Structure 1
Amino acid sequence: MSFPWSYSVLGLVPGLILTIVVAALVLYTSLIVWEFCLRHPDVKDVCDIGKILFWGKNWAWYLTAAMFLLNNTFIQGLHCLVGSNYLNTISNHGMCTIGFSAILAAISFFCSLPRTFSTLAKVATASAFFTFVSVILATVFAVIEDRPNGYAGTPPKVLLVPAAGTGFVAGMNAFMNISYTFIGQITVPSFIAEMKDPRDFPKALWAVTTAEVVVFSVVGAVIYSQTGTNYITTPAFGSLSNEVHKKVSFSFMIPTIIFLGVLYASVSARFIYFNIFTGTRHYGNHTLIGWASWAAILAATWTAAFIIAGVIPFFSDLLSLMSSLFDSFFGFIFWGTAYIRMRRAEHGPRFWRVRGWRGVLGVGMNLSLIAIGLLFLTGGTYASVRSIVHGYEQSSFGGPFTCASNGI
């Protein structure tokens, strides 16, 4: 539901084009991840890939592990933050905001306790259904309402292209909001490792990508067309003027708010747990030490997530900062490098010549992926930090561990 805001900054036409381009890049890089995992069936997670890519060095594994765990914990914190956003909205600020974040962290901790993805897969199906209902309701409500929330007599202003004077910081943050929603390759190796037949992965990937492009584009474009640049909020539920419409549509999102945080917590916990207990009887058996350790790992990650949600009380800038710091590697740089390493192993150091025009096109495409990742890491981080500094200068954010409402 941050897509309408991104379109309000980028303009509707560039926003839709970037949505399709980012989706295509994520599809392409996910297929590279899949091919890499098939070539290296011993890979359990993205940290193993990081070590293989960078000459088998232990420092590469540890550095990737640090980024991996930080990325996942930030996402858990984001979902604590959005959960408090929802609870404040639905209760009309019935409790201190930090209390709502604690409630979400506690609920998510208990939902994270299952140790296999097979259990989470059933929850994921329900989560996807409720998310679809939520965004469709929000879109329908935005269309049938007479005016957006905060209407001040001026009609919604819909921009096909960016407004004159749109700066690098605003444009980069909007672009990263779109990218963050699509980028999830960091979890793909963990999923593939548990698939009965990893060769089926592309079928699921194509289905998911197609559904994402259609839903994200339609919902983003329609809601933006009804609210315009002058009345848009993030998340876009806040642009609905009817309180019942806002609360009903937002309520259907709560399973996803919980599930996505749970998913990333589970991926992190599995990574830590497996590296501690591989080769012991606790690895695949129901033992007291195994379950106590699993619960302790989850408790640690959700405590860290709760702290992040309390210290960083903003939504869109957190998305952008996460995207610039971590998606630069896990969305682009790693997979451009993986492609080059695989082709070099197949055809030798001059692989790009041996393969003819396909080799030239392939190496050009994947060097471009690495360049996009470096743009995220440098320009994206700068834009995110500048936006956060500006927000504090304008007193747009509450203080750490605030009781102030962040409802919409």
Structure 2
Amino acid sequence: MTAKAETNSRSSSTTGSAEKITLAAHYKSTDVTQDKYPDDEVASDSEVQIHYRSCSWQRTAGLLFSEYICLAIMSFPWSYSVLGLVPGLILTVFVALTVLYTGLVIGDFCAKYPHITNVCDIGQHLFWGKKWAWYATAVCFLLNNTLIQALHVLVGAKYFNTISDNTTICSLVFSVVTIIVCFLFSLPRTFSSMSGIAYFSALTMFVAVILSVIFAAIQDHPEGFHPEVPVQWNLWPEKGTTYVSGMSAFLNIVYTFVGQITYPSFISQMKEPKDFKKALYLVTVCELITFALAGSIVYVYVGNAYITAPAFGSLIGNYKKIAFSFALPTIFFLGALYGNVSSQFIFLRIFDEKSRHRNNHTKRGWTVWVLLNLGLWAIAFVIAEVIPFFSDLLSLMSSLFDCWFGFVFWGVAYFQLRKSHYVETLGEQDISFLEIFKKESFVGKLEFISNFALILIGIYILGPGLYASVDSIVLSYQSHLYGSVFTCVSNAI
């Protein structure tokens, strides 16, 4: 996939062109207060071979669809079985609207500061422009993405064990197969080039969800059914539901919706960043309808006693295998997408705007790119084999990272945007947030309070939420629900 080396005369021309095109799309400013760059520097240059800023809003919508129409949808029935149908649906709507609102804030923030290209730049901007904030955000960003990759390695092995009724092949082999396929999917250099596969991934996962709903309704009984334990579902939590189980169920919902960590990266590669909101509105409506209907219908037909996470495990025989098989493209692609996001983040730090390896097909550029992807998938493999569980891993990731990237960051971003507005309109450099609150309209005051609540929710998820996640994992291990690390034992559902 490499190209021939450039001649010396063309090399200098390409270098200048690369610097020009990437100044807008991938500018790494040491001055985080810089607000603008010349519009004409966004223009593409024929000398550049790899155009990063090439994603339309329709292609961005495809990436968002693939991110949200994912396997985690099939954990919603389990969440509803713990929370009860009414609280589960209320929390689903609440989290969906919260993510939509924070996504709009991200769009406004990236429009205000167009030199931002990823969530780490935002982290530095939000927390006093300090470089330590950038590095701290980068660590969380990479850990979050790598854990998601590991989750897909785990689920890939689970799929192959399930579909083959495996009793002889070591599960590690299936994990390696999953990694190889995901690695190949993660190799394209731009998000635009991945969008076609993204739509296919979202479509097949949607089919998997619809089939699961249909099969749950028409099957004679759920997997593991016993006549003396009837299928029952609840509108409200069962008596005796613990805080740990309830919080874990809530965090499963949060994890599925919270995907804002990738938004700045996607926006930075859009032809028209202002169109990001179109993609966001479209995806939010579709995901809310899909999540709520799939979660509630499967839960009602399967019941509390037989629900699994993912819910494919509650289907019998070929129903399970057929529905699960349609989820395979998503298992591969979504893990690849997060691997690609991480690889791009590191790659664009290794090669700055002046490097021809960044925007051209060079041997060194492609070698570094392939090794980055391969290294991240190797790490994901180790994590997947050390942490062999599904629903508890979703909860753990929510409590560790979604608290920041789903709530705290965007509450702080809102306050910075409001302060910037008043500084520009009133010219008061030292205006306090209390003074801003007093100047706001009634609706503005409500929005002010809501964003403060977002920060508190994030802090709550990080504290008690993390405690609940860890305690749930400990209890599961004590109950011998999980196997040992690097085991060959089948993890089929």
TM range (shorter): over 0.9
8 Å CA contact 1:353, 1:359 repeated in 2: no
Residue aligning to 2:320: 246
Runs of 4+ with >4 A deviation: none
1:146 Cα offset (Å)? 1.1
Task: Give the Cα separation in 1 of the matches to 2:329 and 2:475.
Answer: 33
| 1:270 maps to 2:355 | no
CA-to-aligned-CA distance 1:17-63 (integer Å, 9 cap, x gap):
11100000000001111100000100010000000000110000000
Residue aligning to 2:309: 234
Residue aligning to 2:132: 59
Residue aligning to 1:219: 294
| 1:136 maps to 2:206 | no
Residue aligning to 1:333: 408
Residue aligning to 1:404: 489
Pairwise CA RMSD: 0.8
Residue aligning to 1:160: 235
Task: Give the Cα separation in 1 of the matches to 2:392 and 2:282.
Answer: 30
SS at match of 2:189: coil
**Alignment partner of 1:97 out of 171, 182, 186:** 171
Residue aligning to 2:391: 316
Matched letter for residue 408 of structure 2: I
Matched letter for residue 443 of structure 2: R
8 Å CA contact 1:87, 1:100 repeated in 2: yes
Would you say how many aligned residue pairs link Structure 1 and Structure 2? 407
Q: Which structure 1 segments of 5+ residues have no match?
A: none
1:101 Cα offset (Å)? 1.1
Task: Give the Cα separation in 1 of the matches to 2:272 and 2:103.
Answer: 16
Matched letter for residue 176 of structure 2: A
**Alignment partner of 1:298 out of 353, 369, 373:** 373
Residue aligning to 1:361: 446
SS at match of 2:360: coil
CA-to-aligned-CA distance 1:191-223 (integer Å, 9 cap, x gap):
001111111111111111111111111111111
| 1:201 maps to 2:286 | no
1:407 Cα offset (Å)? 0.5
CA-to-aligned-CA distance 1:341-376 (integer Å, 9 cap, x gap):
110111142211112323321220011000110111
| 1:5 maps to 2:75 | no
Matched letter for residue 169 of structure 1: V
Task: Give the Cα separation in 2 of the matches to 1:215 and 1:42.
Answer: 35
Deviates more, 1:68-77 or 1:100-109: 100-109
1:82 Cα offset (Å)? 0.7
TM-score (norm. length: structure 2): 0.82
Task: Give the Cα separation in 1 of the matches to 2:367 and 2:266.
Answer: 24
Residue aligning to 1:390: 475
TM-score (norm. length: structure 1): 0.99
Matched letter for residue 244 of structure 1: N
Q: Which structure 2 segments of 5+ residues have no match?
A: 1-73, 423-430
1:98 Cα offset (Å)? 1.8
Residue aligning to 1:374: 459
8 Å CA contact 1:79, 1:257 repeated in 2: yes
| 1:283 maps to 2:358 | yes
Matched letter for residue 485 of structure 2: P
Task: Give the Cα separation in 2 of the matches to 1:101 and 1:274.
Answer: 29
